[in-house]
Structures are given as C-alpha cells and as structure tokens.
Amino acid sequence: MKGFGPHMGHTGGFGKSDSPVIKALMARRSVRSYLDVPVEWDKIMTCIESGMMAPNAGNLQIWRFVVVRNLDKKKEIADACLQQYWMEQAPVHIVIFAKLEREEHYYGIRGTRLYSIQDCAMAAMNIMTAANALELGTCFVSAFDEEAISRIFRLPDGVRPQGVITMGYTDEKPTAPIRYRVESLVGVENYGMAMNEGQSGRIADKAAAVSTYRYAERFPKYLQDAMSDISKVTAKKRRKVLGKLLGKFKKKGEEKAEE
C-alpha cells in the first residue's frame, strides 16, 4: 500500500504499554450512561485544575468553566445540544467557554478562530483524562446550538461556548469504536508517505490477514454503534449523517474489494 488510505482496523501494535498514562489514554471511552451517584466536589475541582494545566496559547488562559449540577439547567443544556437527552442523567456537566478578548488582542483572527478552540480542546482532554484516573466517565459534547447555550448562560459579547463535558460514575463499559490503522494516518517525513513494515509494527502477510478478519468481524458492530449514536440526535441530522455513512462505507467496501 502506498500513501494514506482509509483502512479500518486495529490501530497498530504500539498502544500496549505498562505506563498507567498510556493505559488510561487507550482505555478512555465516551460514556453516555451514568449512575445516579453524586460526584465529589473535590474530584470535579481536581479535574478542572488538571484542565487548567493544559498547554494554551501564550498562557493567556482564556478558558472559563461552569459546573452544572442543577437538573433543570442540565435539561436545558441537553435540549440545546440538539436534544441529546441522555445528557440529563449525567450528575455533572462542565461547560467550557472561551473568553476571546485577550486572544484577539494578542493574536488577532488566528487567536479567536484557532488558538481559542485549541486551548479549550486541550483543557477538555486534560479534564477527561483526569476524570478517567478518578474512575469517572465522561463524554465531550460539541453538537449544540450556540445561541441556545449563550442564552442559557447569559453570555456577554466575546464569550463563546466550546463544549460540554458530561461526567459521572458509570457501570457502562463501551467497546472501543473502531479506529483507522496507524499506517493509514501516519506519514514519514512527508505527508502521504506510508510507513514501511518495520515502522508500522506489522508483518505484511499475517497483518493483512488479521486486519481483513478484524474488518469483517467488527464492521457490523461499528455500524451498530454508529446507528445507536445517531439515534441520539435529531431525526433531521440522523438522515443526513446516515446518508454520509452509507456513502462512506460503500466507497470503503469498493476499495476493499479492489485490494
């Protein structure tokens, strides 16, 4: 195989490690079902403080966080998140905002359109990793009506919502959604230059056989998971996403057949 290609399957053999950090990163999954157990305030703050230690442009720390535990407010948020009502039963929502003024002052459009989003995404990932370490489940939710969220929080000008993290104890153990194989996404020295077998950690024939098997085995499961995700959003969005998915997998099937 030359260059990048959308080959699905196992991410590769490099993810195995005894490091607790690597293990936690590999094991984290989006959780959408929570136990009715309150989350300790200390834990919420530890997660947010971990978020605040994330790298951020110029250390301007333009992120702002709101902790929501009030049921009515969580309902409003779930509604603003395109009717994702599963969010209501998460004991905690952490809503992340970007306060753009200083980012604009120092970095102009690049600050407001790029750095602010990257800053908040870095904080969000730290929050979710910390939550994972504290045995809390999370899901990052970013499909929302920005005006609706702005209304709920009476946001002043120059403050933009960036995402909602649902958080809570869970007994859900989501299976890992399928990821592209590492050699499909990683180039060497140049964009689109494929890795060789040594670099991708695969032995050609065996790997091809195993990945074909995995593809066949996991594809229906992947579609099933995708459908269940999709059923959580509005009917309109559902039709749109489904159309895209089917197109994508039709193409993938044709590519597979050609291989």
Ligand X SMILES: Cc1cc2nc3c(=O)[nH]c(=O)nc-3n(C[C@H](O)[C@H](O)[C@H](O)COP(=O)(O)O)c2cc1C
Site for ligand X contains 30 (CB under 6 A): yes
Q: What string marks each residue from 112 to 151 as x (binds ligand X by CB under 6 A) or -?
A: ---------------------------xxxxx--------
Beta carbon of residue 175, minimum distance to ligand X (angstroms, whole number):
9
Q: Where is 104: in which H helix or E strand?
A: helix 101-110
- Residue from 50, 84, 132, 162 binding ligand X (CB under 6 A): 84
Beta carbon of residue 7, minimum distance to ligand X (angstroms, whole number):
18
Site for ligand X contains 234 (CB under 6 A): no
Beta carbon of residue 232, minimum distance to ligand X (angstroms, whole number):
6
CB nearer to ligand X: give 142 or 196.
142
- Give 10-63 as a DSSP string: ---STT--S-HHHHHHHH--B-----S-PPPHHHHHHHHHHHHTS--GGG---E
Q: For residue 97, which phi and psi values (nearest 5 degrees)?
A: -125, 155
> Angle between the 235-258 and 204-230 helix axes, to the nearest 10 degrees?
160
The span from the CA of 66 to the CA of 62, in Å, is 14
Q: Residues touching ligand X: how many (CB under 6 A)?
A: 13
**Contact predicate 92/127, CB 8 Å:** no
The span from the CA of 109 to the CA of 94, in Å, is 27
CB nearer to ligand X: give 50 or 129.
129
- Residue from 23, 29, 64, 73 binding ligand X (CB under 6 A): 29
Unique residue bearing structure tokens 């077998």: 197
Site for ligand X contains 27 (CB under 6 A): no
End-to-end CA distance of the chain: 9
Choices 24-32, 146-154, 234-242, 243-251 (CB under 6 A): range interacting with ligand X: 24-32
Q: What string marks each residue from 154 to 173 as x (binds ligand X by CB under 6 A) or -?
A: --------------------
Q: In the complex, which residues of this chain contact ligand X (CB under 6 A)?
A: 29-30, 32, 81, 84, 139-143, 174, 177, 232
